[in-house]
Amino acid sequence: MARKDKEKLFQLRNRSLISLTNPKSSIAEQFRTVRTSIQFSGIEADLQSLLVTSPSPAEGKSTIAANLAVVFAQQGKRTLFIDSDLRKPTVHYTFHIENHIGLTNILTGQVTLEEAVKTTRQENLWVLTSGPIPPNPSELLGSKGMDALLEKAKDEFDLVIFDSPPVLAVTDAQVLSNLTNGVVLVINSGKTKIDDAKKTKELLENAKAKILGVVLNNKKEQANQYYYYE
């Protein structure tokens, strides 16, 4: 890879973690606003686990999920960010960490949670990457091993955030959605079709997921408003 390409890639990764690299920016403030909305979303029990997903690929859900993990950690919560997209994982790219050992290794009994989690530059934030891509993602995510992992993670951390695959692409998000306290749905302004958004909501509700709210991504800036772009 040429030097200019590497520099461009580094800049893109830094921009995707703007809550960490530029916490005083207006965009980072918007993520803190989303954090507050989640905390006041009407959940009766304490929020211990959260799933972030979208209807289709390339709608920005992984960037949203990563920044939410950062702002929750900045609030003082011991936060574990898990890449549960076992088909096209990206979290290790976002955080500039290796992905030889991760979630799939835990679910197949090769390593423990303590052995697989990785520290980050953000205090109170740990990352569990996907690990090697398996041939049976849905089965692994719906296994008893996932139940055990989530219970273990809740004991060790204040909040567990999952970055999951898109709902309409595969069933993985539905499998995970009813294991967590709530779901944040990312919709891309001008890209997500209304019918796709409605179908996604229906599928999540059928899986008995609790939808906490929707984040509208890529909203064009208007007077006195901010917008987020990926």
| Domains and their CATH numbers in the chain | 3-217 (3.40.50.300)
Along the 230 residues of the chain, how does pLDDT read in single tens digits? 444 444 434 444 445 899 999 999 999 999 999 999 998 876 656 789 999 999 999 899 999 999 999 999 999 999 999 999 999 999 999 999 999 999 999 999 999 999 999 999 999 999 999 999 999 999 999 999 999 999 999 999 999 999 999 999 999 999 999 899 999 999 998 889 999 999 999 999 999 999 999 999 876 655 444 444 33
Residue 135, burial from CB neighbour count under 10 angstroms (0-12, 13-18, 19+): exposed
* Contact yes or no for 186/52 (Cβ under 8 A): yes
pLDDT of residue 34: 94
Q: What is the pLDDT at residue 12?
A: 41
Q: DSSP label at 161?
A: E
